[in-house]
């Protein structure tokens, strides 16, 4: 076993997912507070002069108070080295979240106690299920009025199809929130409100058998209600089973308030005991073990212009095996090129620290001169394997893009190409018409706003978007065997090609897809493109 095994075994890499406004960014900040990575938590919303959340760095994010890209945060806590991948909550950015989940070993799902499972939670959860990754649930905002706790658990089980096992249990909510009952130790941890940006205030831990102290802290009515709920809970909830948690079949549930910082450290401590060290990854040569194999990584995200002063592009890589050394030569498998990774750095939202070394489980950013694509594999020169590609989501909204000042064609093409390489948008051109017009496809309409904003602010190019009626896109699976020019389609079909020259078909109506397949025997269409 390599001598860096102990470093790798300290790593925990997880993503935080939630519906917008469930308190995900606040929870992330409190984790950083415990790790000593920041001293005072910012608030996502607030006046223009207020501190912004550490993980929201893009100008548009600061203006709107929402996260539109995933950020990467690393800190140390209790001899663990923790990599948090904070994801956008808004469903229009779910593709970015999906790619981020590809780089995580587990996920923390944040649910608003007054709203329960919301539409976006459902969508993101399905992504976790597809990957079979362990999910840990933090039910947040207990300092406000909340839904019935049993109903919340029932909703998670019914809506998401996963068994729940509460590790602790809330006592009251809103103004009557008294704390949580820890099921394993059979103690009550009392709640006290604290200054918003600091670590939690004084809490008392009282054994449930100490009747006088329990009554003094939570009152008789709360105590009786708690005892009834514990009895019901012990009879009805799933037993804790670590194997079921790690296979993604059971979610441990915790309760608290990220804003007032109650229950956050309790959650973090339990979570670290239940999560795994970095997991093996699938490649075309089988599973790659994080400890046994030499350095390898894959690119899961590309972000341009993180630093306005440098106008640079950063490729984010998840290290999957071994140890990375800044001086080593590595192979970019898809480009078939041996190289040194330029300016390897650990990113803390918009702040950076140049790295000399990193280990399996870590996320590093490297300078990208325009050669990396999402899904690319980086390995030792003689390794000879490729990690599984990351599927491309089918866009559901399309628009023709025109620049207002035709003299700025060069900046326009550069800007739109770079933003497309990040995976936020997909760009297409007319198929074999010679027209230079660009069509943009996005998963969520908010991406159009982000595109317009970024072209204006980062590339000094103004554009006009003309929405198109297409809603369905299909990749041609067997393009080598089919003469694309001769495909007979429906009146609402359009032929386009992507950045790599692959032919695609756009349709207004879903039934046109079937009709086109009927009219063209042998044609094979797919809903997913592949980043390979």
Q: What is the DSSP string of 274-339?
A: HSPSPPPEEEBTEEE-TTTS--EEEEEEEEE-SSTTTT-EEEEEEEEESEEETT--EEETTTTEEE
Together in a domain, 144 and 213: yes
Contact 354, 319 (CB under 8 A): no
Residue 309's pLDDT is 55
Question: Is position 325 within any domain?
Answer: yes
Tell me whether residue 200 is in a domain. yes
pLDDT of 57 over the 50 cut: no
Question: CA–CA separation, 216 vs 203, rounded Å?
Answer: 14
User: Which tops the pLDDT comparison, 120 or 445?
Assistant: 445
CB atoms under 10 Å from CB of 506, counted, come to 23
CATH number at residue 366: 3.40.50.300
Q: How far apart are CA 251 and CA 249, in angstroms?
A: 7
The pLDDT assigned to 423 comes to 75
Using 50, 70 and 90 to split pLDDT, how confident is the model at 197? very low
Note the pLDDT tens digit of each residue in 397-431: 899 998 898 888 888 988 888 888 777 788 998 88
Does pLDDT of 65 surpass 60?
no
> Higher confidence at residue 393 or residue 177?
177
What pLDDT does residue 384 have?
85
Tokens of 43: 């608030």
| Model pLDDT, residue 196 | 46
Which pLDDT score is estimated for 419? 82
pLDDT in tens, 73-85: 888 898 999 988 8
Domain coverage including residue 470 = 393-531
Q: Among residues of the chain, what percentage have pLDDT more than 90?
A: 41
Q: How far apart (Å, rounded) are the C-alpha atoms in residues 454 and 437?
A: 19
- Does residue 98 lie within any of the structural domains? no
Residues 255, 314: one domain?
no
What residues are paired with 390 via a beta bridge? 531
Nearest CA to 133 out of 94, 169, 157, 102 is that of 102
Contact 29, 53 (CB under 8 A): yes
Mean pLDDT across the chain, nearest whole number? 83
For residues 26 and 161, membership in a common domain is answered with: yes
Q: Which residues contact 375 (CB under 8 A, 6 or more apart)?
A: 298, 299, 300, 387, 389, 390, 531, 532
Residue at which a domain ends, from 375, 390, 405: 390
Give the pLDDT score at 492.
Answer: 93
Determine the Cα–Cα distance for residues 77 and 288; give it in Å rounded to an integer. Answer: 27
Q: What is the pLDDT of residues 432-459, one digit of tens each?
A: 765 578 999 987 787 788 888 888 888 8
Q: Count the helix, strand and coil residues of the chain and give each as a percent rounded to the nearest 5.
A: 25, 30, 40
* 269 plus 300 within the same structural domain: no
Q: Within a domain: residue 297?
A: yes
Answer whether residue 286 is part of any domain: yes
- pLDDT for res 254: 97
| Percentage of the residues of the chain whose pLDDT score is greater than 70 | 84
Answer whether residue 295 is part of any domain: yes
Same domain, 453 and 488: yes
The structure tokens 């058998």 sit at 209
Does residue 66 have a pLDDT over 50?
Answer: no
Do residues 40 and 151 share a domain?
A: yes
- Amino acid 446: pLDDT: 78
DSSP secondary structure, 31-98, as one string: HHHHTTS-SS---SSS-TTSPPPTT--SHHHHHHTS--S-EEEEEEETTEEEEEEE---SGGGHHHHH
pLDDT of residue 201: 56
pLDDT tens for each residue of 256-281: 999 888 999 999 999 999 998 998 99
Q: In the listed set 364, 390, 416, which residue is the last one of a domain according to the structure?
A: 390
Burial class from Cβ neighbours inside 10 Å (0-12, 13-18, 19+) for residue 431 reads middle
Domain boundary among 250, 274, 298: 274
In CATH, what number is assigned to the domain containing residue 434?
Answer: 3.30.70.3280
Residues 403 and 374 in one domain: no
The set of residues, in sequence order, having a beta carbon less than 8 Å from that of 435 and lying 6+ positions away, is 429
pLDDT at 341 over 80: yes
Same domain, 16 and 152: yes
Q: How many domains does the chain divide into?
A: 3
150 or 424: whose pLDDT is higher? 150
- Is pLDDT at 349 greater than 80 in this prediction? no
Asked if 253 and 292 sit in the same domain, the reply is: no
Rounded Cα distance, 503 and 493, in Å = 13
Q: Which residues contact 134 (CB under 8 A, 6 or more apart)?
A: 105, 106, 107, 245, 246, 247, 248, 274, 275, 276
The pTM (predicted TM-score) of the whole model is: 0.78
Residue 92 maps to a domain? no
Residue 502 shares a structural domain with residue 371: no
For 371-404, write each residue's pLDDT tens digit.
Answer: 888 889 999 999 889 998 776 777 888 999 988 9
Q: What is the DSSP string of 227-243?
A: HHHHHHHHHHSPPP-HH
Give me the mean pLDDT over the 339-360 stretch.
Answer: 81
89: in domain: no
Check pLDDT > 60 for residue 49.
no
Q: H-helix or E-strand containing 205?
A: strand 205-207
More confident residue, 88 or 341: 341
Q: Pairing state of beta strands 397-403 and 205-207?
A: unpaired
pLDDT digits (tens, 9 = 90+) for 209-248: 888 888 888 899 999 999 999 999 988 778 899 999 999 9
Kindly state whether residues 427 and 519 are assigned to the same domain. yes
The residue that leads in pLDDT, 25 or 221, is 221
CA distance linking residue 100 with residue 363, whole number of Å: 11
Between CA 331 and CA 313 the distance in angstroms is 19
Supply the pLDDT for residue 42. 46
Rounded Cα distance, 101 and 162, in Å: 18
| 356 and 469 assigned to the same domain | no
């Amino acid at each position: 076993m390599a001598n860096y095994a102990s470093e790798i075994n300290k790593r925990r890499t997880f993503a935080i997912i939630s519906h917008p406004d469930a308190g995900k960014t606040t929870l992330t900040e409190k984790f950083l507070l415990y790790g000593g990575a920041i001293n005072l938590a910012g608030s996502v919303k607030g006046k223009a002069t207020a501190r912004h959340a550490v993980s929201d760095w893009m100008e548009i994010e600061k203006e709107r108070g929402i996260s539109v890209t995933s950020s990467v945060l690393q800190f140390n806590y209790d001899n663990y080295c923790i990599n948090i991948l904070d994801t956008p909550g808004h469903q229009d950015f779910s593709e970015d979240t999906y790619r981020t989940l590809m780089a995580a070993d587990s996920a923390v799902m944040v649910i608003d106690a007054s709203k329960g499972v919301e539409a976006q939670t459902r969508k993101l959860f399905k992504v976790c299920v597809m990957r079979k990754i362990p999910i840990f649930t933090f039910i947040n905002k207990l300092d406000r009025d909340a839904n019935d706790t049993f109903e919340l658990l029932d909703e998670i089980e019914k809506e998401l199809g996963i068994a729940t096992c509460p590790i602790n249990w809330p006592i009251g909510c809103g103004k009557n929130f008294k704390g949580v009952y820890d099921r394993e130790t059979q103690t009550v941890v009392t709640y006290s409100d604290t200054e918003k940006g600091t670590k939690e205030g004084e809490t008392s831990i009282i054994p449930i058998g100490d009747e006088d102290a329990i009554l003094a802290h939570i009152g008789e009515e709360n105590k009786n209600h708690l005892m009834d709920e514990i009895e019901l809970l012990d009879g009805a909830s799933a037993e804790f089973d670590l194997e079921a948690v790690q296979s993604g079949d059971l979610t441990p549930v915790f309760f608290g308030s990220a804003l007032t910082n109650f229950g956050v450290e309790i959650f973090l401590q339990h979570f670290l005991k239940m999560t795994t060290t970095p997991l093996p990854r699938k490649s075309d040569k089988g599973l790659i073990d994080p400890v046994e194999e030499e350095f390898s990584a894959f690119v899961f995200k590309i972000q341009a212009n993180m630093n306005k002063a440098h106008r640079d592009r950063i490729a984010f890589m998840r290290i999957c095996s071994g140890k990375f050394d800044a001086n080593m030569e590595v192979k970019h498998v898809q480009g078939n090129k041996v190289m040194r990774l330029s300016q390897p750095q650990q990113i803390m939202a918009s702040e950076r620290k140049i790295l000399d070394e990193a280990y399996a489980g870590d996320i590093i950013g490297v300078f990208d001169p325009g050669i990396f694509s999402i899904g690319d594999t980086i390995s030792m020169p003689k390794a000879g394997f490729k990690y599984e590609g990351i599927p491309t989501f089918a866009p559901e909204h399309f628009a023709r893009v025109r620049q207002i000042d035709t003299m700025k064609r060069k900046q326009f093409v550069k800007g739109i190409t770079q933003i497309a390489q990040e995976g936020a948008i997909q760009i297409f051109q007319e198929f074999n018409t010679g027209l230079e017009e660009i069509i943009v496809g996005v998963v969520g309409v908010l991406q159009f706003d982000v595109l317009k904003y970024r072209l204006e602010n980062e590339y000094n190019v103004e554009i006009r978007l003309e929405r198109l009626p297409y809603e369905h896109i299909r990749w041609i699976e067997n393009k080598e065997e089919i003469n694309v020019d001769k495909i007979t389609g429906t009146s609402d079909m359009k032929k386009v090609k992507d950045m790599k020259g692959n032919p695609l078909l756009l349709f207004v109506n879903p039934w046109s897809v079937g009709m086109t397949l009927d009219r063209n025997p042998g044609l094979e269409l797919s809903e997913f493109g592949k980043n390979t």
